[in-house]
A and B are shown apart, each in its own frame.
Chain A
């Protein structure tokens, strides 16, 4: 590769933040082709161990990069992130690029159109590196439920990178991509960010278009940015956000001023930060709680006032969520009927359409998807509807009211993002309930539709793994969480001598032998 770059100024392009990449590209310090190639090289070297990407589109990414370089050389005015590469969760339809949602059902599905957010990435002229691994149809908290093998955490290859967006979090944490797309239905952006030492934001429900996103639970799903810094996340948030006439649930209002907030004042004087009494304590790892308390001290030092708030119905949020989500999922996933697209399995003889559907859905769906479809079908069935789905919707109202009351006492709410650091691959695979309980801190925000973000608060003493702090804001006040996140990040970075992610150990090029509970046959296949 010919290069005019001063290699001593940038020994490794992949280590820069997206802001630094954008600035250096604009200043002509290196080209987008060089930057994109540096990421493709790292993907080629480390993806066999991490399994973060299900598909790499080197050709497409380099073509976009070359195009940006030409435009820049010609003096064209370009969007802020033009030429900065990005990874896209395999839940977003990409025209001409296989989109599986982590499922066998869509193994060969090539979308004929782009999701609106993908169109926006193309308009922002960001090279798309590829599609990232995820729990099948975004159902899970570990990325172990992918039909294409688990993704591994760059901090420790024997641990999970969170889920469902573990491919995106591992790609960003492992410096395989500076930015990635996530989707958050119950924490799938925030929890993976927490366990990989990265930043993830779930915008206000309706803040980002979902046209072309493979639906899980439509009253909960939201698309958002995955990044290594708060400012990087804000830049991507701004690219993604805004009204889309193709999505009837998209909010017709300007994108909240997240970039200004992320790069504005670090002074939090007068800000009221609420600690939710019901999130924390029992079940929360000691090192997680310790880092959280430490962050509260930093927030106080920044001028914020810490107040305790109570959200009594959060205790029932998990149960309500695991009724509402499966109910909506069972309806959304009814579309996989083996008739118009997706896997078709025909039993012997002269099977009827219904028999073909049933066989195809048995073969195409993994265990977790089947569990949730059956649970949802049961919760919606006649005779049980009122006691389950109907009652869960009422509890949802009470949770939204709890938020409303809490936001009268506090400007933002904070909690640990996840109760523990990354658990070991295989540890919770046979116990769905314990996997579900991992989402305890993130789920209330989805039920109420409020925005939330996770930023790294440090490493846990006992295992040296990353811990995240969650910041929640009222609906359409996304900029508040960015302002608080950026101020806390700056303070933590100063106190800890750098970003948490800079302490990532060298990622081994080979994964350890599969843990006994992993779907090792498929892992081997994915590595091949």
Chain B
């Protein structure tokens, strides 16, 4: 199995939307490399014909009737919002400045 470089960790952190500081990258890269190496031992098991298990219960398509039910008010839903505005969630700009 390939090992995880510092650049790999920085790239994956970007994908996960975590802005790591330099010193965090230094520590995490070493630890993650060791952990990835260790979890890679799952590949020692011959399992080509084994079906994957995503979940312990054999449940499929659990549905309920599509009925109107009481729900949170807009005020309740916005109570924990960092920047509520006019009954909506205020968000930073989503487009590039250019």
**Which A residues fall within an 8 A CB radius of B?**
108-110, 112-113, 205-206, 219, 245, 248-249, 251, 313, 316, 319-320, 322-323, 330, 334, 337-344, 346, 350-359, 361-362, 365, 367, 370-371, 373-375, 377-379, 381, 387-388, 390-398, 400, 432-433, 436, 447-449, 475
Tell me, in angstroms, the Cα distance from A433 to B27 when the chains sit together. 14
Given contacts A341-B80, A400-B53, contact A371 B93 (CB under 8 A): no
CB nearest neighbor in A for B2: A384
Q: Of the candidates A313, A361, A448, which one forms a contact with B45 in the assembled complex, judged by CB atoms under 8 Å apart?
A: A313
B68 CB–A CB distance under 8 Å? no
A251 nearest CB neighbor, chain B only: B57
Assess whether A397 is in contact with B35, with CB atoms less than 8 Å apart.
no
Given known contacts A323-B42, A339-B91, A352-B92, A375 and B36 CB-to-CB distance under 8 angstroms:
yes
Distance A319 CA – B34 CA, assembled complex (angstroms): 12
Measured in the bound complex, the distance between the Cα atoms of B19 and A72 in whole Å is: 56
The interface residues of chain A, by DSSP majority, are classed as helix
| Cβ B12 vs Cβ A110 within 8 A | no
Besides A249-B57, A377-B12, A392-B39, 20 more A-B contacts (Cβ < 8 Å) are A108-B80, A112-B80, A205-B56, A219-B55, A245-B64, A316-B45, A339-B89, A370-B28, A374-B13, A378-B4, A378-B32, A393-B53, A394-B45, A396-B52, A398-B45, A398-B47, A432-B35, A433-B31, A436-B35, A449-B57
Query: CB-nearest residue of chain B relative to A108?
Result: B80
On whether A112 and B76 interact (CB within 8 A), knowing A339-B89, A352-B96, A375-B36, the answer reads yes
Task: Point out the residue from B40, B55, B77 that lies within 8 Å of A388, measured CB to CB.
Answer: B40
**Which B residue sits closest to A343, measured CB to CB?**
B82
Q: How far is the CA of A182 from the CA of B91 in the complex (A)?
A: 35
Q: In the complex the two chains form, what is the Cα distance from A365 to B18 in whole Å?
A: 9
Chain A residues within an 8 Å CB radius of B35: 322, 371, 375, 432-433, 436
A467 → B minimal CB distance (Å): 27
B20 touches A362 (CB 8 A): yes
Chain B residue numbers with a CB within 8 Å of A375 are 32, 35-36, 39
With beta carbons under 8 angstroms apart, the residue of B16, B32, B92 that contacts A353 is B92
Listed in ascending order, the chain B residues whose CB lies under 8 Å from chain A are: 1, 4, 8-9, 12-21, 24, 27-28, 31-32, 34-36, 38-45, 47, 50-57, 59, 62, 64, 72, 76-77, 79-83, 89, 91-97
Q: Quick check: B53 and A374 within 8 Å, CB to CB?
A: no
Quick check: B39 and A362 within 8 Å, CB to CB? no
Which of chain B's residues have a CB closer than 8 A to the CB of A346? Answer: 92
A370→B27 CA distance, assembly (Å): 12
In the assembled complex, 13 residue pairs joining A and B whose CB atoms fall closer than 8 Å, in A order, are A112-B76, A344-B82, A352-B95, A365-B18, A367-B27, A375-B36, A377-B12, A378-B32, A394-B45, A394-B52, A397-B50, A449-B56, A449-B57
Q: Given B31, B59, B97, which contacts A432 in the complex, CB threshold below 8 Å?
A: B31
Nearest opposing residue in chain A for B44, CB measure: A316
Q: What's the nearest-Cβ distance from chain B to residue A226, in Å?
A: 22
What residues on B are CB-neighbors of A245 within 8 Å?
64
Which of B80, B96, B97 is within 8 Å of A109, CB to CB?
Answer: B80
Residues of the B chain whose Cβ atoms lie less than 8 Å from the Cβ of A379? 39
Q: Is the CB of A393 within 8 A of B40?
A: no
Q: Is the CB of A362 within 8 A of B19?
A: yes
Contact residues in A for B41 (Cβ distance below 8 Å) = 316, 319
Given A352, A358, A367, A395, which contacts B19 in the complex, CB threshold below 8 Å?
A358
The residue from B12, B55, B77 contacting A374, defined by CB atoms under 8 A apart: B12
Task: Give the contacting residue for B82; candidates A342, A394, A432; CB below 8 A.
Answer: A342
**What A residues does B82 contact at CB under 8 A?**
338-339, 341-344
A346 to B90, CA, bound (A): 13
